[in-house]
Amino acid sequence: MKKPVLFFMAVLLCGLLTACGVGCTEEEEDETARFKEEDLYTVNAYVEEMTPALLEVVPDLKGWKREPHEEDDKPFEYDEERKKWLEEHRESIEEVKKEHLDEDFPGMETIESWEVVVVRGDKEWLMEGDEVVEALEQLNQFTGEVTGTIEMIIANSGELDEEQSEAVLEVIEQVEPTVKEVRQAVFRE
């Protein structure tokens, strides 16, 4: 008589544990579907590599030739060496995009659903997915502006008119603030 009761109790206990395990697993699967740690690492790696690549372009965008004793630097003119360096920057930026924005990069809808507590060094904050999506869109749009500016310089053989020179100045002025905004949203720097 004792053995059937013990057997029944063991079966009941296993059933309860299994039911709890299934319930917990479904919650964990829901959580995993919304956020995957490797997705965060993928986004971080992209931002970590792209933002310095944008900052590195600035000195060469500023490297136009100046005529001696001219009051105004415009219109800008870039020499062959500077155009070559700018083309290398453009290729580098495109390579970062190609390397990171592939099939492993999480979709914007996935990122938008994030609400993750992030710890970086001694800082801890709640990362909101919509802020990250906004930062990534800003980064991608600005990256296009920078590469477009470089393409404009090269297409014009480095000899820009007044309006094109102003466009280059605007991009130069936007690089640092854009990088800071993006890094603030993603890394809280």
pTM: 0.77
Q: What is the pLDDT of residue 24?
A: 39
Task: List 119's β-bridge partners, or say none.
Answer: 124
36-53 confidence digits (pLDDT tens) = 899 999 999 999 999 999
Both structure tokens of 66? 């100046």
The letter for the amino acid at 39 is D
Which 3 state secondary structure label does DSSP give 50?
Answer: helix
Q: For residue 179, which phi and psi values (nearest 5 degrees)?
A: -60, -45
Extended strands (E) in the chain: 115-120, 123-128
The residue ranges of every structural domain in the chain are: 42-61+75-187
Give the residue with greater pLDDT, 173 vs 23: 173
pLDDT band at 71 (very low <50, low <70, confident <90, very high): low
**pLDDT, tens digit (0-9, with 9 covering 90-100), for 123-159:** 899 999 999 999 999 999 999 999 999 999 999 999 9
* Contact assessment for residue 153 and residue 17, using Cβ atoms and an 8 Å cutoff: no
Per the prediction, the chain carries an average pLDDT of 83
Helices 37-61 & 80-100 angle (0-180, nearest 10)? 170
Q: How many degrees, rounded to 5, is the angle at CA 181 between CA 177 and CA 185?
A: 170
The pLDDT confidence band at residue 16, using thresholds 50, 70 and 90, is very low
Residue 11 has pLDDT above 80, yes or no: no
Q: Which residues of 177-188 are buried (b: 16+ CB within 10 A; e: fewer)?
A: ebbeebbebbbe
The answer for residues whose C-beta is within 8 angstroms of residue 156's C-beta and 6 or more apart is 164
Distance separating alpha carbons of residues 189 and 186, to the nearest angstrom = 8
Tokens, residue 128:
């909101």
Least confident of 6-15, 61-70, 88-97: 6-15
Confidence class for position 64, pLDDT limits 50, 70, 90: confident
- pLDDT confidence of residue 155: 97
